[in-house]
Amino acid sequence: MKYISTRGQAPALGFEDVLLTGLAADGGLYVPELLPRFTLEEIRSWRGLPYSELAFNVMFPFVEGAIPADDFRAMLKETYADFAHPAVAPLIQIGSNEWVMELFRGPTLAFKDFALQLLGRLLDYVLEKRQQHVVILGATSGDTGSAAIEGCRRCKHVDIFILHPHQRVSEVQRRQMTTVPGDNIHNLAVRGNFDDCQQMVKASFGDQSFLDGKAQLVAVNSINWARIMAQIVYYFHAALSLGGPDRSLAFSVPTGNFGDIFAGYLAREMGLPIEQLVIATNRNDILHRFMSGNRYEKHQLEHTLSPSMDIMISSNFERLLFDLYGRNGAAVADLFARFQQGPVSIDDYRWAQARKLFDSYAVDDEATCATIAEVFSEAEYLLDPHTAIGVKAAQACRRDASIPMVTLATAHPAKFPDAVEKAGVEARPALPLHLADLFEREERYQVLDNDITAVQQFIAKHWKFA
């Protein structure tokens, strides 16, 4: 399997190099040169498989030639054995043909565990083979940071630096990052927003000279292909649990960076019958404004009750645009060059093509709280604010009530107790036992100005071989 850049000017790479590279040299994102495609008969044969075996069937084509089948199968079995439910991603019915898929049963209570617990093991495997030390650099709007730290903290060949926007993540999210001990773990609270953090990460990958050639940066954000690859699996899992592939499904996905819903698009391209994908956003609604009006335009970022989606520039959207432009990297590069200067639109026929599959809906804080209260009242099921946005968007955009609608439950409600309290729900969510003492643990993090030089100097000074 070879991987190519969405901007067409970087060399094609194998899986190992893509895992360690992050952004392509031309500023693009890596995608498979050719997607594997499964027949309905193949997909049907996977019914009843344990989650790790389903994951092997879906993902092995992406790593074949880089990781032997037995090693990859063992890695997956170990990854998903750590999840707190035997189904790994259980489905809960909350209404008529309306479901949520709980993606928060991993160690850090968020969907990012599905990819990042695997990513740590992939890195360990590749870096041990190469006897190479790397610096992980990532930005988080809340959940990626803790999942990356948990997934990679035992890797002996990495130092981890995670940027988060200072005072713009929930307290539980912050403490999940900052209370993990380890000399190779560094949490940086940046006086800015998530997009500021993300931009610093992208710029640092583009020019790594601040490390003096002594180390390589590795991405844990969803620009890393391994993140997307692992998220494809649970779309197959949901379909097989609800009658697929002999019936189509619809999915509503709370998303800010477009990675999680792009994985659903890829599942469909790989042969899974998916009728509809709903992009669920909060007030930071750049994706909704594009899908509803063909206008991709930056607005001022707003702080909301769903902070993991407080993102204005959706990095993975470029991967979809690459397909909409017939995989023409030069056209994508030109589009994003124009986007730096102001709003952009795409050709009407390309936009219409996207609208055949995608719908979108933006939900404000008031409607988020109302949805949490309504679902708890009707189904005695407690949603976190991000999942509530997904449920509300699913209800607003549903095309066919006969098709199962699955909302991806992206986080445990205990991560956002203030939002649950604001919704007027009396059942304040408790943290699971393994995190019961979270508020008693010592925190370690550094507050830095919104200045890339200060961030890069900190990294250069504190990584293992500095």
- CB 351 within 8 Å of CB 214: no
State how far the Cα of 298 lies from the Cα of 343, in Å rounded to an integer.
7
Q: Which residues, 6 or more positions from 326, have their beta carbon under 8 angstroms from its beta carbon?
A: none
Query: At residue 428, does pLDDT exceed 80?
Result: no
Q: What is the mean pLDDT of residues 290-297?
A: 96
Catalytic residue among 112, 202, 392, 415: 112
Question: In this structure, what DSSP letter does residue 407 have?
Answer: E
The mean per-residue pLDDT over the stretch 162-175 comes to 93
Mean pLDDT of the chain: 94
Mention every residue, 6+ apart, whose C-beta is less than 8 A from residue 85: 102, 105
Q: How confident is the model at residue 220 (pLDDT cuts 50, 70, 90)?
A: confident
pLDDT in tens, 99-122: 999 999 999 999 999 999 999 999
Residue 324's pLDDT is 98
What DSSP letter does each residue of 325-381 carry, written as one string? TTT-HHHHHHHHHHHTTS-B---HHHHHHHHTTEEEEE--HHHHHHHHHHHHHHH--
Question: First CA to last CA across the chain, in angstroms?
Answer: 35
- Does 257 score more than 60 pLDDT? yes
Whole-number pLDDT of residue 260: 96
Rg of the chain over CA atoms, in angstroms?
21
Buried b vs exposed e over 290-305: b needs ≥16 C-beta within 10 Å?
bbeebebeeeebeebb
Q: What percent of the chain has pLDDT over 70?
A: 99
The domain limits of the chain are 87-109+225-422
* Phi, psi for residue 387 in degrees, rounded to 5: -65, -35
Over 70: is that where the pLDDT of 226 sits?
Answer: yes
With 60 as the cut, is the pLDDT of residue 409 above it?
Answer: yes
How far apart CA 370 and CA 262 sit, in angstroms, is 28
DSSP classification of residue 154? T
Average pLDDT over residues 151-174: 91
| Gap between the Cα atoms of 54 and 63, Å rounded | 15
Pairing of strands 30-32, 3-5: antiparallel
Asked if the model's pLDDT at residue 426 lies above 80, the reply is no
- pLDDT of 26 reads 94
Give the pLDDT of residue 221.
Answer: 80
CATH 3.40.50.1100 for domain 87-109+225-422: yes
Question: d(Cα 342, Cα 236) in Å, to the nearest integer?
Answer: 38
Residue 2 known to be catalytic: no
List all residues 6 or more positions away from 45 whose beta carbon is below 8 Å from its beta carbon.
Answer: none
Strands (E), 15-167: 30-32, 91-95, 98-102, 134-139, 158-165
